[in-house]
Amino acid sequence: MKKTLLTLLACLTLTSALAQKPRPDAFPPMDDSLAPKSLTMATTLDEMYRWDRYPTYEVYVEMMNHFVETYPELCRLDTIGTSLRGRLILCLAMTGTDDNDIYRPEFFYSSTMHGDEITGFYFMLRLCDTLLASYGTSPQITSLLDRTRIYINPNANPDGTYAGGNSSVSRSMRYNANYVDLNRNYPDPFGSVSLDTLQCENKAMIAYVSQHRFELSANIHGGSEVMNYPWDSFTSRERRHEHADWWEAVCKRYVDTCRQHSRSIFTDVNSQGYIEGGDWYVISNGRQDYMNYYQHCHELTMEVSSDKKLASESLQRYWNIQGDALINYIKEIHSLADTIPHDTTSGDTTHVGISQHSTLNSQLSVYPNPTRGEVFISTGDGIRRIDLSDRPAGVYILNVKGRHYKVIKL
């Protein structure tokens, strides 16, 4: 404990120094008049379905409701909360209709917490439509939805996106209506955000993610093209993420998929297209580290277009490059279960080590997230969930349908 505290203090000092380094996407939004481009708006749902423009706020809300009206058996619409100006922070929750008893891990996409980084906003709407429209026709998407609960929040900062009014994104800005950068306003491993400075958009988001057990997520930004994996608070030399090898493989798969369509994509930060967050530049109080550290979720930050306000005529091209990769990233939630060793240890989070009792031969499957102290045991005809999160470390013998399993909570 003392050692951890000392390490944290040392890192805190270092972070304060490094935090002075300007962040590429930290500059104030450019005056639009200096960079004229077309940011065409869809003012009707039909126009939006051409997928060559951005939605007005009203069309955005209408489209999210339209998904539920069109596919009521596949999705529902959650309201995460409301922004300072009263705009809705929405999340479409989707899963397949296959009524099996299988434990379905929860996946979360959230975009545009920086209100002017709007490529991901468009991506998320198009992704919702693609997943829902392909269910029952595409075997891979049908299987993905049947095995996964997918939550998509297209816009985490609608006041920023519609800072110039609901009918345009041309005056969109990074900040919320209090002019606070929402990605510097989360508790992080140093815990330096107090509850009274927490912005309402983030308060709502924290409440929402706390109600769920997201295993894998991505927070989508723009301004660069790079996959930024945890940690943001530490360089990899200070503290390498315990699943860094897995992260790098996941990032590489994303970038490789995109490069099948464009060789120049994801090259503006480095040639490989991915980087450990702190190695790029250290930040404090970002959402990525909050999700990883406090929610025990695996979240990375996707910077999906060098141009924050991608011209509307480029939207189709960017979707064609990244659409498959965005779907494949959701599938990684299942590689998380297969790949990550279950007996890893860490100084800060509780991990559960699992070993099957040697005298028994029934199958033991462990699904994420073992860091929460949850164990999921496949019994052949269903999944049994056992929650050890409130239990002390120790050895537990579990009796599940007459079979015994030894579970070690480290």
In the complex with Zn ion, the residue whose CB is nearer, 221 or 241, is: 221
Question: Look-up: residue for tokens 């639009």?
Answer: 32
Question: Least distance (Å) from Zn ion to the CB of residue 303?
Answer: 7
Closest distance of CB 27 from Zn ion, Å: 11
Q: Which long-range contacts (CB under 8 A, 24 or more apart) does 319-322 make?
A: 319/51, 319/122, 319/123, 319/126, 320/261, 321/258, 321/261, 321/262, 321/265, 322/123, 322/258, 322/265
Q: Which is nearer to Zn ion, 117 or 276 (CB)?
A: 117
Contact between 46 and 166 under an 8 Å Cβ cutoff? The reply is no
Confirm or reject binding of residue 221 to Zn ion (CB under 5 A). yes
Of the listed pieces 187-195, 220-228, 255-263, 359-367, which binds Zn ion according to CB under 5 A?
220-228
State how far the Cα of 239 lies from the Cα of 121, in Å rounded to an integer: 32
E-strand spans in 131-223? 149-153, 214-221
Q: How do beta strands 224-229 and 298-305 pair?
A: antiparallel
The single residue listed with the structure tokens 């107090």 is 194
Alpha-carbon gap, residue 365 to 135, rounded angstroms: 27
Minimum CB distance to Zn ion, residue 154 (Å): 15
Q: Which stretch binds Zn ion (CB under 5 A): 92-100, 145-153, 215-223, 287-295?
A: 215-223
Q: Judge whether 159 and 177 are in contact, CB under 8 Å.
A: yes
122/135 with CB nearer Zn ion: 122
Q: Does 409 bind Zn ion (CB under 5 A)?
A: no
Tell me whether residue 49 or residue 281 sits nearer to Zn ion (CB atom).
281
**CB of residue 395 to Zn ion, shortest distance in Å:** 45
Which of the stretches 35-43, 45-53, 217-225, 318-326 binds Zn ion when contact is defined by CB under 5 A? Answer: 217-225
The answer to the question of residue 239 lying near Zn ion (CB under 5 A) is: no
Contact 239, 11 (CB under 8 A): yes
Cβ 113 to Zn ion, closest distance in Å? 7
The phi-psi region of residue 347 (left if phi > 0; otherwise alpha if psi is between -120 and 50; otherwise beta) is alpha
Site for Zn ion in 7-26 (CB under 5 A): 25
In terms of CB distance, is 25 or 52 closer to Zn ion?
25
Query: Before 231, cis peptide (omega within 30)?
Result: yes
Q: Does 114 bind Zn ion (CB under 5 A)?
A: yes
Tell me the site size for Zn ion, rule CB under 5 A.
4
Strand partners, 107: 150, 216
Token digits of residue 134: 């392909």
**Residue written as tokens 């891979």?**
140
Query: With binding defined as CB under 5 A, does residue 308 bind Zn ion?
Result: no
Shortest Å distance, C-beta 233 to Zn ion: 16
Q: CB of 183: closest distance to Zn ion in angstroms?
A: 6
In the complex, which residues of this chain contact Zn ion (CB under 5 A)?
25, 114, 117, 221
